[in-house]
Chains A and B, each alone.
Chain A
């Protein structure tokens, strides 16, 4: 016979390492640095005191808008205000760029605060994924701002570039909830999507619009005088009329007139001409430049920012350094990005130049972009190089760079995912080559499109021979691991992971050090596949290694993922404490690094629900299960969906909803049928179903469903013994338990259950002493993890047995959870009926009447009480029996022998 005395409690498991604190994203790039700096002011600057004062007054309220078309002087005005320190509060500057995904946007906002030396509390955390941030991050940020002694001004220049509605929503939320800690200044070409009407109604907005930004005659006069031009009053009037006070137009006029022999004649000609102003003036200014400069400007228009080296590459000459410096000095709509060798063209100028390039040199653009891509790649600017190559349609180069740099993981994790996947979104899927195949596969993987991913991998494999370079082969193995996991194909996952492991060893450490996500995601993928296959030991080893390999910035996603899978593995092994610890660790990392909730967290909440269910804390279990299944939509992995069904049915059974429990199980079973999942999942479902049947008093059905699954898992054997015992076949049950191998890995839940069954059988056979001995063993096994549920499920005999042995009951006080004060939550207040507060005589009378299905009024009449008194008695009965409904009270009281 299987000797319970040899059952030892599980070996103590070392606590998982504290999830590392994500450090701020390294944003050392000078181009990025420029986004946090107040832009340099034009050398010729017209001071506009009235507008500067309006900005200063504006930041006394929460929101200031500076809106106007391109070239209206929004940024110049705001930068002037910021650089003269006219703001009464510290001002933080961020230039928003098109394509800033929400996660990246918030990361930059935090970085802007940090660079300005405005500290936010560390618990605010920082976003690590491009797609977005969760609400709790915004709450922490708003709280951090609200706690400041004085407000901070956040200037978001070009806020109209923020296309993602989540950014605007998030900003509105933070502004509303930061008390008076945040003042926003937004510049943009279009009105922002913020609910401006509300701010206007509340008088909380200051608006500086195009009509305010327009240059007056006096402004124009100052501007032209600074250009060294003296123009007649009539000429000024003509200019202001023709340009409608458009600042950029007037600046261009100044440049063009300086180059023209007769400024007054220029004015007359300009006023008479009907061509679009920007086109006319830019053409004038461009044509006034020497041919080499014109050529450089046209060619440079394909990129946002120009480096002399890049410009030389584009022109094929070596004069860019000098020309760019000269143009910036002459203020020809080119400015140097502070402290760097880079220059930036005025966006309007760049757009018009770009149009001229296409007009004057048709077909040249792709060639130029190809050259730019190579120069950018050569200087280590991967994302920009890839974007240029993609814009040139040079997909081979774009994909080749990404793969060659071992950056394939950046399509799946990190702040650049959004930008990179948009870059590759238009790549044709039939290009030959290993790199394009791998990039397609990774992009499809990010969209959970297994077929597309497999097709991409197949294409890559056609070109990847054994003598292909290590980086490409590692990238192939990396995508293979993740694809295997998505396909629930443990064999393929393992093969790919073995390849990856070998290649990781062969690659130089510095390259791997730049891409810690590769190793971490391979290990996490392998561990999860092992978990899905039911190999818990190996899953645990792999996932623990994945946790250890994570910790550097960029690995937050695999860290969360690995911790969550590890939590499930521990739950399945009955190690509730470790399971809970890992699940909470995973949620903490997700929280701190503001990972978006949709793909993470479901598993963590599921594990916490499972832990609470074993503890018989049904309220918590239900709440966690709702978190796991409710908000996140369908669970991404079928194993999770199955486990959710198992836990859900268990809760439904506990709540007396037998039909609900069966429906849940059957739905999960039919959803899983076509997926060819591992055998253990079918067994989990069968055990859950048998539990529901037993609770309903149908041991025959319980046995049938278990026997339909041939399985030698100890959990199965124990469940079967339970059904046999319930069916009155105690000898069979005990023989089944005796078959349990002594050395197998058996969860403490199953061991406890087995001892309880032995106790029950002994008690039924009148062997009281033996029954007590088994009960004692069961209690000892259950105590470390506080497995209360299994005692509750066993039925009222446990309570009777325990009441016969007050010392034992006293020693195991943990069986009774601390009583909650006040009203017990509805529907989920089941408590272990070991010690029940006895009903008063009057309460028993009321319950007896309720058993006869009498209504409250009828009971009142029968017992000569008022209806209100009956209600009071019923409430007291519900509380004592831990139920919420009359029928439950009657059932429970019957079970407990109280009726």
Chain B
């Protein structure tokens, strides 16, 4: 399954590389101060692990959702 995480603020390339399995999609106007990460999530353990990793890098998750398909 694929997931999308909406992170507060623009995430630099250095931090984005901590999530190599994810595509980083800067959100265009009108909300330029958010970053979208899209990518595969293997299972629940992976999902919760990701949330912990976002948190440990000081990244604030605003929203997450499973992508269709």
Contacts and interface: CB of A to CB of B under 8 A. Distances in A.
Interface of A: 69-71, 189, 248, 274-280, 283, 347-348, 351-352, 354-356, 358-360
B22 to A, nearest CB: 13
A756 B7 CA distance: 85
Contacts of A348: 56-58
A99 to B, nearest CB: 14
A69 B55 contact: yes
Given A274-B33, A275-B9, A276-B8, A355 B15 contact: yes
Query: Which of B8, B9, B13 has most chain A Cβ within 10 Å?
Result: B9
Interface string B2-29: 0000011111111101100000000000
Given A274-B32, A278-B58, A278-B59, A358 B18 contact: yes
B11 A276 contact: yes
A279 B15 contact: yes
19 contacts: A69-B60, A70-B56, A71-B58, A276-B7, A276-B8, A276-B9, A276-B10, A276-B12, A276-B59, A277-B9, A279-B9, A279-B15, A348-B58, A351-B58, A352-B15, A352-B58, A355-B14, A355-B17, A358-B14
Contacts of B33: 274
A77 B27 CA distance: 37
B14 A356 contact: yes
A284 to B, nearest CB: 12
Interface in B50-66: 55-60
Contacts of A279: 9, 11-12, 14-15, 57-58
Nearest to B53: A351
A489 to B, nearest CB: 38
B14 A360 contact: yes
Nearest to A357: B14
**In the A-B complex, the 9 residue pairs with the closest CB atoms:** A278-B58, A276-B9, A359-B14, A274-B33, A355-B18, A275-B10, A356-B14, A351-B56, A279-B12
A348 B57 CA distance: 6
Contact of B57 (A189, A275, A351, A360): A351
Contacts of A278: 57-59
B58 A274 contact: no
Given A275-B11, A351-B18, 13 more contacts: A189-B55, A275-B9, A276-B12, A276-B15, A276-B59, A348-B56, A348-B58, A351-B57, A352-B15, A352-B58, A355-B15, A355-B57, A360-B14
Given A274-B33, A276-B8, A276-B11, A70 B55 contact: yes
A297 to B, nearest CB: 13
Interface of B: 7-15, 17-18, 32-33, 35, 55-60
A18 to B, nearest CB: 46
Nearest to A283: B12
Contacts of B59: 276, 278
A347 B56 contact: yes
B9 A274 contact: yes
Nearest to B58: A278
Nearest to A252: B58
A118 to B, nearest CB: 33
A350 to B, nearest CB: 9
Contacts of B10: 274-276
Nearest to A189: B55
A358 B32 CA distance: 26
Contacts of B55: 69-70, 189
A358 B17 contact: yes
B57 A352 contact: yes
Contacts of A280: 9, 12
Nearest to A273: B10
B9 to A, nearest CB: 4
Nearest to B7: A276
B68 to A, nearest CB: 28
B28 to A, nearest CB: 13
Nearest to B8: A276
Query: Which of A354, A355, A359, A360 has most chain B Cβ within 10 Å?
Result: A355
A69 B7 CA distance: 15
Contacts of A71: 58
Contacts of A352: 14-15, 57-58
Contacts of B12: 275-276, 279-280, 283
A274 B32 CA distance: 8
Contacts of B8: 276
B25 to A, nearest CB: 15
Contacts of A359: 13-14, 17
B65 to A, nearest CB: 20
Contacts of B9: 274-277, 279-280
A278 B11 CA distance: 10
Nearest to A358: B17
A589 B30 CA distance: 68
Contacts of B18: 351, 354-355, 358
Contacts of B32: 274
Contacts of B7: 276
Given A276-B8, A276-B9, A248 B58 contact: yes
A418 to B, nearest CB: 18
Query: Which of B9, B17, B32, B58 has most chain A Cβ within 10 Å?
Result: B58
Contacts of A275: 9-12
B63 to A, nearest CB: 15
Contacts of A189: 55
Contacts of A358: 14, 17-18
B27 to A, nearest CB: 10
Contacts of A354: 18
B17 to A, nearest CB: 5
Query: Which of A69, A277, A351 has most chain B Cβ within 10 Å?
Result: A351
A409 B9 CA distance: 50
A248 B60 CA distance: 14
A448 B35 CA distance: 47
A276 B13 CA distance: 11
A820 B12 CA distance: 79
A71 B35 CA distance: 22
Nearest to A282: B58
Query: Which of B17, B18, B33, B57 has most chain A Cβ within 10 Å?
Result: B57
B37 to A, nearest CB: 12
A318 B7 CA distance: 40
